Chain A
Amino acid sequence: MRMDEMLGDYLEEARNTCHGLDSASYRVGKDPAVLKEVMRLFHTLKGSSGFMGFETITSLCHLAEEKVSEMKESPDGFAQFLRVLAGTLAEIMDEIESTGADLPAYRDRVKPLADALSAGDYSGYRETGGFEESPGIRITPEKLDRILTFLGEAEATKNRISRETARLPRDLSRAFHDLELSMDALRDEVMGLRMVDMGRYLRKLGVLVQEIATQLGKEVELVARGSEVQVDKAVADGVMDAMVHLLRNALDHGIEPPQERKNLGKPPVGNITIEITQEGSRVRIAVSDDGAGVDTERLRKKAREIYGGMELDEKALLSLLFTHGFSTRDEAGELSGRGVGLDVVKESTERMGGNVFMETTRGKGTRVVLDLPLTLLVTPLAFVRIGNETFAIPVSSLVRVDWREDVEVVAVGERAFVKRTGGALPLVDGGKAMDGGGAGDMVITLRAGGGEFGLLVDEVLPEGSGVIRPMGRVGGNAFIGAIIGPDGTPILVLDPAFLAKQAGGIG
């Protein structure tokens, strides 16, 4: 079994244990058998944590198991203590999932719990009762996602109705408008629940950087900017692996050892900067170091060995570093250099609808920028240019893309068809349909209304995603809605069902 699989299994089991402890806490003092159950849970977690080498959790569970085994009855405050302990462990599990490491900071985090266990005094955790002390409601990300799914479905229904409000009686139409406003507000509120400060993630990375630096015998100062930027938790979680890879690379490949830096006329302490900025609906995370930079000549030599005499410019050369299995190192370092890492960074970034690029200067340092959406509560979209305008189409409707010169278009009367093996698909001229003109250099095949058809467009642009906002009746039947593009300009989202009708009776 691979290490990441083992970690996954461990985390699943550990989270179940946390859940079990939390659940058991509500029976403490009521069910005499619960202490045995709690002891067993600690014993199980101790074993698996020990196997994984997570010493902090192992020690805490060992102590807890020992103390609970000595209990004849539940001490005052123990139920609440168990809930806090379960919550703390669950938070640590979340962090281990991101970093893969048992960080020294966890020892400080669990120290008050260990102290209470050692002293057998849980009075500090006693529930005081009363409304002032009422705890907040916990909601898991999975539950929140389910709420958002239902909200999305409700929005889709609302959008369908919004096209027909003209047919509603006036008072119903007004009531529907009120409903729309409420749903907009609800969506914004629920989406806001998923937003988290990047600060807590940066703090974790800060600890990790110092640990790795110590391991490598390097000295480094980490400067983090933008901790107040809020992003979707799914994005923040998803980008952590990439960030860890980038920091490991910066420390292993970039920052030189202190003596070498002195010899080069640099300060002995290296500098790594993480800068997070929000630009419209995107978040940019830049990781830069003042280390050695990438040896582009060595990279070019390696590229020639692999790709023959093909000459690549610097941008293309650097992009090779994000290719699976590509490394300029002949031997792998302990932390990086195996040709894995940057490809993972690229893959995870692109999976979230983002992209990555690198800038480097030999001897001065490297800067890697991740450009990501602020939220994943979005629809994957294909973007096309028709005439001078950009339109979006849900990726779920996109079947294939062809150059017009690569397909055979036949005209039958006033209608056009794209020839395909075993038949022909109706072809819609996007320029005519959108009243905008254009050359129609590309044919995209879309699926809608139970059939497929071709759409003539001028250019297929890189895919992206967006939160589709309804436009009400003004959009007619041609558009599902619009998204607000990266620079704030609305981009209309074409309704494939409308185009299917234009194609001639499909749907």
Chain B
Amino acid sequence: MDRFVAFTVGDKSLALRIEDVLGFAREIKWCRLPLAPRGVVGICNWRGRLCPLVDPGVFLDTSGSGGPWICAAQGRAGPLAILVDSVTGIETAEMTRVEQPPLMGIYGDDRLVLDTGEIEKLCGI
């Protein structure tokens, strides 16, 4: 069994492995990034470190997120800020692995587990 932080983006139920999550914030300072790769909304200030602000909805066939939550997660290239609509909570479940970037697996009925490394790859980070 693994522990996950569950949240929603658009009509999708998503999650991150708890060990990948750095924290949540409701208000964060950020700016738009012109000429940004697909999925990258801007650059934000996560506790003094600059990191890309991404909308995972772009890769998940959903309307995308307008926030208002930011979930900071540990990526391979550094912190990654993910736009999130609502935070569901912490869940413990058995994940079934899937090979479908940016997903690493699925648990429950429809909870999709994001792989931060794959998000980075898709965003060209």
Binding site for B on A (CB under 8 A): 166, 174, 177, 180, 389, 433-436, 469, 471-476, 478, 481-482, 484, 487-492
Contact = CB atoms under 8 A, between A and B. Distances in A.
Q: Which 7 A-B pairs have the closest CB atoms?
A: A489-B29, A488-B29, A434-B34, A435-B34, A474-B52, A490-B43, A474-B125
A352 to B, nearest CB: 22
B31 A490 contact: yes
A307 B33 CA distance: 47
Main secondary structure of the interface of A (DSSP, over half): mixed
Contacts of A434: 34-35
A474 B36 contact: yes
Interface residues of B, number: 24
Given A473-B124, A474-B36, A484-B45, A489 B77 contact: no
A122 to B, nearest CB: 49
Nearest to A473: B125
Contact of B50 (A166, A177, A389, A482): A482
24 contacts: A177-B77, A180-B78, A389-B32, A434-B35, A436-B32, A469-B49, A472-B77, A473-B125, A474-B33, A474-B36, A474-B123, A474-B125, A475-B33, A476-B37, A482-B50, A484-B45, A484-B50, A489-B30, A490-B29, A490-B31, A490-B44, A490-B45, A492-B31, A492-B34
Given A471-B43, A484-B50, A489-B30, 19 more contacts: A166-B124, A180-B78, A389-B31, A389-B32, A434-B35, A469-B49, A469-B50, A473-B124, A474-B37, A474-B124, A475-B43, A476-B35, A476-B36, A482-B50, A484-B45, A490-B43, A490-B45, A490-B50, A491-B31
Nearest to A491: B31
Contacts, number: 71
B43 A474 contact: yes
Contacts of A478: 34-35
Nearest to A484: B45
B40 interface: yes
Interface in B43-99: 43-45, 48-50, 52, 76-78
A269 B35 CA distance: 62
Contacts of B76: 174, 177
A473 B123 CA distance: 10
B4 to A, nearest CB: 25
Contacts of B50: 469, 471, 481-482, 484, 490
A489 B45 CA distance: 7
Of the listed residues A177, A487, A488, the one surrounded by the most CB atoms of chain B closer than 10 A to its CB is: A488
Contacts of B78: 177, 180, 472
A481 B31 CA distance: 13
B55 to A, nearest CB: 14
Nearest to B43: A490
A174 B120 CA distance: 14
A353 to B, nearest CB: 20
